[in-house]
Amino acid sequence: MSLSDRLLAGDLRALARLATHVENDDELGRAALARIYPSTGRAHIVGVTGPPGAGKSTLVNALIGEFRTQGRRVGVVAVDPSSPLSGGATLGDRVRMMERHADAGVFIRSMASRGHGGGLAPATAGVVHLLDAAGFDPIFVETVGVGQDEVEIARHAHTTLLLQVPGLGDSIQTIKAGILEVGDILVVNKSDRPGADELVRDLLHMLSLAERAEDDWHVPVLRAQATSGEGMSKLAERIERHRAYLRETGQLAERERQMAAIELSGRLRRELHRRLYETGEASTEFGQAVEAVACRRADPIAAATNLLVALSAPR
């Protein structure tokens, strides 16, 4: 039995091995994704983002417990930043969630961002597909936590949780970067800290300024203390309510199309990069194009167009 068939039969060891192949983007990993893809599309994908120190991992850990009490199998993809020197990552989320390691209903995969911007790793979508095909639902995707540029997660998830905590500076900075717009649910974590009331008030005020139709989803602002579990049942309920909202309004299909478009665009970019730099297939054409642009014999637009033609030609 192949690893893909074993995964579809519920073998978690096969899932772990295939996740490595998918991260490496090797032939076995690509073949596995092709094999299991028809069995995906059942899980609800929940993105979790926010600034460093917001308590994302602690909150995900608490939500795992909440959904496990409902008998749900929970998957987690936790993306950690890569070292700019070694390319490695601390993968600390696995350490924080070690209490779940013996629970067969929970699968946690830590991934290095490998320098990819937007708070995600290049293979995030592929690993999510593996978890989906293996029957995990919901699947949480926790971003790196590098600051205010983590808007990419909203294009890879059905529901996005945006965490904020009091004491990290002027909350109005949140709206300046536009990150407030990515959240379907806003969570003020560590809400026992001074300044929590003011942060909730500011977030509600920012949301009140947004123009929305009558049937739009009204983004809630929830208080939580992930370390104690306070507010987790309400947060889990709101996640389920948003899932129902997407289904009832037909927006779920639109988000699926958006997610497919983003994943396909990313795959095209990686495949182009692979063919240009890794396989040597187009090394001659690329080198010639670089020389032509550098010597001003061709402009970058024309050179890029010619390279695309060359790459698409039968070989």
CB atoms within 10 A of CB 9: 10
Question: Final residue of a domain: which of 196, 217, 249?
Answer: 249
**What is the DSSP-derived secondary structure letter of residue 158?**
S
Residue 143 shares a structural domain with residue 161: yes
- Structurally, the chain folds into a number of domains equal to 3
254 belongs to a structural domain: no
CA 99 – CA 125 distance, rounded (Å): 26
CA 63 – CA 81 distance, rounded (Å): 23
Residue 210 shares a structural domain with residue 282: no
Q: 164: domain range?
A: 42-249
- This prediction has a pTM of 0.85
pLDDT digits (tens, 9 = 90+) for 95-146: 556 566 678 899 999 887 554 444 455 688 899 999 999 999 999 999 866 4
pLDDT digits (tens, 9 = 90+) for 180-225: 677 899 999 999 999 899 999 988 888 887 766 666 889 999 999 9
Residue 22 shares a structural domain with residue 155: no
pLDDT at 110: 86
Residue 162 shares a structural domain with residue 284: no
258 belongs to a structural domain: no
255 belongs to a structural domain: no
When pLDDT is averaged across residues 77-87 and rounded to a whole number, the result is 58
113 belongs to a structural domain: yes
The confidence band for 264, taking pLDDT boundaries of 50, 70 and 90, is confident
Sign of CA dihedral 112, 42, 34, 105: positive
